[in-house]
Chain A
């Protein structure tokens, strides 16, 4: 549905995007992750035909963004970073204007407006001026605008910014429901969001794609050892050395005087059962024992902190930093 091949975008001397390639299948949800200024918005602007790429090809639904922008624009719903709303219009006036710009009219326009007003919970505010609405409602109006003509492709630049937690969950549900029938690209700073709604994550940094995979695989790929956190009520002096003696345990870090230990074991080996047995038989007072999985946040930080050469070498040696973080 979306195909990006070797897109480069230069602003004068500055290269904002450097040979980016990726694709989104029909019905797939793809998350764009990256620090500020990584090139997320630029990529989205190229896909929506707002600006042309310096080099490379971008295709949406089989139409080239440079050659057939009208066909592309008809098939895209786009929510920019700032919701593009006219403050002096009411919600219904605004949506009617948007619909007419996109060639909707008559009953189709009315029913589309009704559908989006209902879907995004805009009923109570539909006759109010957008300028008087809260940030969250404006964001929802922006989403309603993107969805109004039921586009095949949705491009959402940080769709949940400014929403309260309940609304965030609702919008994520909405995006999940759209998957399957729509192709979605969304950019986000909130990492759990990518895990929650997306099948695939593209991490972009400094204008380059540094990783592309499912959220689970990304974290698995960057993990070199299993990590376990252990909290004991009354550890003894030899606890640390005895924990080290358990088969499979590679490293033990004592976490101060609170009785917390961080254990590292071989990849693919779960030593929790033995640790639990040891703790109970030694009378250390086992309070907590849990495996620490690497969050997408860790992955993200690792990848974007060390930009060079990561695509070639997907398993970098960055375990120390994670160890300290955990």
Chain B
């Protein structure tokens, strides 16, 4: 077992001992489930209206349920994921295990990678449970699976980006609340960059600012467009955040 695997295992173990994961997981699944229910009910109401007007109804679940659901989940992740990542480094520093970790014969890149992978696997598990929504819907109605799957790909990439921002924020402080707040703040700024971009219009700066935000890239995936440009955005921003986290952890030794 490599050190990275050991760290992943330890992080998962720590998560499942703490009540935070159960609370966060329960709230996340509850809200996603509730939203899915609401969107399905709205879709049903629309179908009934159409029936009354036209006599027949063809409703598109992809448009009425999944796109809305993916759009809302984005916001839930923005609140929930920083709560999961806030402890990663902040707790180590608070409880003085940081020094132990850094004096172990393990590289900082392995530590950062292990911690990120640990929380990423946890996130994949939570996201996997939301898979029940399309599975159950598939029993009763037809919809196009392709945009649902690319939407999930979008959620995985978006989640990875959010988590990497959280890892960076957690490395910055030994206070978990501050870490959570900083990562939510950073993510909101990234979010709002897209608004700023559209305000600036179709100029070079406007396009660049829009590109920096995850909004458009995620939207493409939710609409079923898998574009290399978007994948490059997610992977490069993820790498940048983890690299910054590496630098922050390294510099923490000098203080």
- B5-13, B122-130, B214-222 - the one binding chain A: B5-13
The prevalent SS among residues of A at the interface is loop
Q: How many residues of A contact B (CB 8 A)?
A: 31
Task: Contact check, B99 vs A87: say whether CB atoms are below 8 A apart.
Answer: no
- Within 8 Å of chain B (Cβ to Cβ): is A84? yes
- Taking a contact as CB atoms closer than 8 A, the residue among B13, B18, B99, B106 that contacts A93 in the complex is B13
B: which residues have CB within 8 A of A? 1, 3, 5-7, 9-10, 13-14, 17-18, 95-97, 99-107, 253-255
Task: Contact check, A89 vs B14: say whether CB atoms are below 8 A apart.
Answer: yes
- Within 8 Å of chain B (Cβ to Cβ): is A40? no
Per-position binary interface string of chain A over residues 88-117, scored 1 when its CB falls under 8 Å from any chain B CB and 0 otherwise: 110001000110111101000000000000
Closest to B254 in A: A51
- Within 8 Å of chain B (Cβ to Cβ): is A76? yes
Task: Contact check, B3 vs A101: say whether CB atoms are below 8 A apart.
Answer: yes
- Residues of chain A from 103 to 144 with CB closer than 8 A to chain B in the complex: 103, 105, 129
Contacts of A52 in B (CB 8 A): 253-254
Task: Contact check, B105 vs A51: say whether CB atoms are below 8 A apart.
Answer: no
Task: Contact check, B103 vs A50: say whether CB atoms are below 8 A apart.
Answer: yes
- Taking a contact as CB atoms closer than 8 A, the residue among B97, B104, B106, B107 that contacts A85 in the complex is B97
Can you list 7 contacts pairing A with B, beta carbon distance less than 8 Å? A50-B99, A50-B103, A51-B253, A73-B104, A73-B105, A101-B104, A101-B105
Task: Contact check, B96 vs A80: say whether CB atoms are below 8 A apart.
Answer: yes
A: which residues have CB within 8 A of B? 11, 45, 48-52, 70, 73-74, 76, 78, 80-82, 84-89, 93, 97-98, 100-103, 105, 129, 145
Contacts of A50 in B (CB 8 A): 99, 102-103, 253
Task: Contact check, B14 vs A88: say whether CB atoms are below 8 A apart.
Answer: yes
Q: How far is the CA of A74 from the CA of B107 in the complex (A)?
A: 12
Chain A nearest CB, measured from B1 CB (Å): 5
Task: Contact check, A78 vs B3: say whether CB atoms are below 8 A apart.
Answer: no
Contacts of B97 in A (CB 8 A): 84-86
Closest to A78 in B: B103
Task: Contact check, A102 vs B10: say whether CB atoms are below 8 A apart.
Answer: no
Q: How far is the CA of A50 from the CA of B254 in the complex (A)?
A: 8
- Taking a contact as CB atoms closer than 8 A, the residue among A70, A101, A102, A129 that contacts B7 in the complex is A101
The verdict on A87 contacting B95 (CB below 8 Å), with A70-B105, A80-B100 known, is yes
Closest to B100 in A: A84
Q: How far is the CA of A76 from the CA of B102 in the complex (A)?
A: 12
Task: Contact check, A100 vs B103: say whether CB atoms are below 8 A apart.
Answer: no
